[in-house]
Amino acid sequence: MSFAVNALGALNVARATATVRAGVVFFSTDYVFGGRDRERGHPYEEGDGLHPLNVYGVSKGAGEQLVMQANPRHLVVRSAGLYGTATSRKGWTFPELMLNKARTEGIVRVVTDQVLSPTFTADLALKTRELIEQDAVGLFHLTNAGECSWFEFARGVFDLAGVDVKMEPIRTDQTQRRARRPSYSALTTTRLAEVGLSRLRPWKEALGYYLRAKGLS
């Protein structure tokens, strides 16, 4: 299913848009990277080699290549740790999930050994539109600036929301997740400056704005 949607489906869209001489935008993921030997403070740039650890990452990497080959007017955007629109069947994103757990359970357990660049979807959408308006072509990393572990992300939520809760740091191998995840997949960009655009604001600033807009802080 992952390849049917993320690779073959993306290829079909890219071919169809190329046929009518239209551009195509393909959203990819930080999970195209492995990060096992990556040190904190050295985020991945657009030119770094891929090393996905799970099927989802492999399918997204394949989709990137197929889209770029099928349509010369391609825009491939890698992002990470998205929040801003409900992405789960339960109707909440990571910040809301953390706040709900704090309210209902009084304790949250979050992994400390996965580092990423959390990204507010409104910021991602606005910067993508800027790239489209510039007729930009190629691969871009679009994430809010900076990096943190999921544990630090959760702590940021509670600090900004003014919520006092007990937090327990855990390792990935203590969770029930089957798919392997990169220990480090923070992203940065060198390409936005090339097309005269600024980077996205810091992740904690974006998170604070989101929580205020939702009435959660």
Q: Minimum mean pLDDT among 88-92, 109-113, 147-151: which range?
A: 88-92
Question: Structurally, how many domains does the chain consist of?
Answer: 1
β-pairing, 148-149 vs 115-116, is antiparallel
Buried b (16+ CB within 10 A) or exposed e, 69-88: ebbeebbbbbbbbbbbeeee
Backbone dihedral angles phi then psi of residue 83, each to the nearest 5 degrees: -150, 155
Among 44, 56, 83, 210, the one annotated catalytic: 56
> What pLDDT, on a 0 to 100 scale, did the predictor assign at position 217?
76
The stretch 200-215 carries a mean pLDDT of 96
**In whole angstroms, what is the distance from residue 105 CA to residue 47 CA?**
43
CA dihedral of residues 192, 197, 201, 202 (deg, nearest 10): 30
Assign 88 a pLDDT band (cuts: 50, 70, 90). Answer: low
Backbone φ/ψ region at 154: left (φ over 0), alpha (ψ -120 to 50), beta:
alpha
CATH number at residue 200: 3.40.50.720
Assign 3 a pLDDT band (cuts: 50, 70, 90). Answer: confident
The domain containing residue 68 runs over which residues? 2-213
Asked if residues 185 and 134 have their Cβ atoms less than 8 Å apart, the reply is no
Assign 89 a pLDDT band (cuts: 50, 70, 90). Answer: low
> What pLDDT, on a 0 to 100 scale, did the predictor assign at position 41?
80
> What pLDDT, on a 0 to 100 scale, did the predictor assign at position 176?
72
In the chain, which ranges are E strands?
24-29, 74-79, 82-83, 107-111, 115-116, 119-120, 138-141, 148-149, 166-170
Q: What is the per-residue pLDDT across 128-137, written as a single tens digit (0 to 9) for each?
A: 999 999 999 9
Rg (CA), the chain: 18
Q: What is the per-residue pLDDT across 21-69, written as a single tens digit (0 to 9) for each?
A: 999 999 999 999 987 777 788 999 999 999 998 899 999 999 999 999 9
Active site residue 83: no
What is the pTM assigned to this prediction? 0.92
Of the candidates 94, 72, 91, 75, the one whose C-alpha atom is nearest the C-alpha of residue 83 is 94
**Structure tokens, 193:** 């400056």
> What pLDDT, on a 0 to 100 scale, did the predictor assign at position 4?
87
